[in-house]
Amino acid sequence: MSHLTPPRQLPDTDADADGSPDPDVTATDDPRKASEPAAEPTPTTPTAAEAAPETAARDEAEPEPQETAARDGVEPGAQAPSPARPGWFGWRRRFPRTARGVWLGTTVLAAVLVFVVLLVPNRLDYITVQSFLRLPVEGIFLAAVLLALPSRARRVTAAALGVLLGLSAVLKCLDMGFRQTLARPFDLVFDWVLLSDAADFLKDSLGRTGEVFAVIAVIALVLAVLVLSALATVRLANVVARHRPVAVRSTLVLGVVWIICFTLGVQFGGVTVATKGYAQYLSNRVQYVSDGLGDAEVFKKQLTVDAYAKTPSDQLLTGLRGKDVMLTFIESYGRVAIDDPTMGPEVDATLKAGDARLKAAGFSARSGWLRSPVTGAGSWLAHSTFLSGLWVKNQQRYRTLTTSDRATLTSYFQKTGAWRTVGIVPGVRKAWPEGKYFGLDHIYDSTHLGYQGPYFSWTPVPDQFSLEAFQKLEHGKKNRDPIMAEIILASSHNPWSPIAHTIDWKDLGDGKVFYKIKKEGTNPTEVWKSAKRVRTEYRKAIQYSLDSLTQWVQRYGDDKTVLVFLGDHQPVPTVTGGTSNRDVPVTVVARDPKVLERISDWGWTEGIKPADNAPEWSMNTFRDRFMTAYGPQDG
Instruction: Write the pLDDT tens digit of every residue in 501-549.
Output: 999 999 999 999 999 999 988 888 888 888 899 999 999 999 999 999 9
Kindly provide the b/e burial profile for residues 42-54, where b requires at least 16 CB atoms within 10 angstroms of the residue's own CB: eeeeeeeeebeeb
Phi, psi for residue 394 in degrees, rounded to 5: -150, 170
pLDDT, average across residues 462-470: 97
Residue 405 makes CB contacts below 8 A (sequence gap 6+) with none
Q: Are strands 483-489 and 324-330 parallel, antiparallel or unpaired?
A: parallel
How many Å separate Cα 110 from the centre of its chain? 28
Closest CA to 545 of 417, 413, 427: 427
Rounded CA separation 170/218 (Å) = 11
pLDDT tens readout for residues 488-509: 999 999 889 899 999 999 999 9
Residue 578 makes CB contacts below 8 A (sequence gap 6+) with 125, 183
The answer to whether the beta carbons of residues 61 and 84 sit under 8 Å apart is no
Give me the residues paired with residue 420 across strands. Answer: 483
Residue 23 has pLDDT above 70, yes or no: no
The answer to whether the beta carbons of residues 228 and 164 sit under 8 Å apart is no
Give me the residues paired with residue 570 across strands. Answer: 375
pLDDT, average across residues 262-286: 88
Rounded CA separation 545/330 (Å) = 7
* pLDDT score at 196: 73
Residue 396 has pLDDT above 50, yes or no: yes
Q: How confident is the model at residue 201 (pLDDT cuts 50, 70, 90)?
A: low
Q: How confident is the model at residue 10 (pLDDT cuts 50, 70, 90)?
A: very low
Q: Are strands 267-268 and 271-272 parallel, antiparallel or unpaired?
A: antiparallel
Residue 270 has pLDDT above 70, yes or no: yes
Task: Cis check for the bond before 498: say yes or no (omega within 30 of 0).
Answer: yes
From 185-199, 311-325, 361-375, 449-463, the region with the lowest mean pLDDT? 185-199
For residue 35, the 8-state DSSP code is: T
Q: Are strands 135-136 and 274-275 parallel, antiparallel or unpaired?
A: parallel
Residue 9 has pLDDT above 70, yes or no: no
* pLDDT score at 291: 83
Q: Which amino acid is at 271?
A: V
pLDDT, average across residues 438-461: 91
Residue 110 has pLDDT above 80, yes or no: yes
Rounded CA separation 350/540 (Å) = 10
For residue 496, the 8-state DSSP code is: -
The answer to whether the beta carbons of residues 419 and 325 sit under 8 Å apart is yes
Residue 18 makes CB contacts below 8 A (sequence gap 6+) with 234, 235, 238
Residue 56 has pLDDT above 50, yes or no: no
Closest CA to 325 of 567, 592, 568, 548: 592
Kindly provide the b/e burial profile for residues 152-173, where b requires at least 16 CB atoms within 10 angstroms of the residue's own CB: eebbebbbebbbbbbebbbbbb
* pLDDT score at 250: 92
Task: Cis check for the bond before 23: say yes or no (omega within 30 of 0).
Answer: no
* pLDDT score at 634: 64
First vs last Cα of the chain: how many Å apart? 116
Closest CA to 186 of 167, 207, 204: 167
Q: What is the mean pLDDT of the chain?
A: 84
Give me the residues paired with residue 587 across strands. Answer: 367, 565
Q: How confident is the model at residue 557 (pLDDT cuts 50, 70, 90)?
A: very high
* pLDDT score at 71: 40
* pLDDT score at 372: 97
Rounded CA separation 100/89 (Å) = 16
* pLDDT score at 559: 96
Higher pLDDT, residue 633 or 619? 619
From 147-156, 210-219, 251-260, the region with the lowest mean pLDDT? 210-219
Global confidence as pTM: 0.74
Q: How confident is the model at residue 40 (pLDDT cuts 50, 70, 90)?
A: very low
Residue 35 has pLDDT above 60, yes or no: no
Residue 475 makes CB contacts below 8 A (sequence gap 6+) with 324, 483, 485, 556
Rounded CA separation 82/95 (Å) = 18
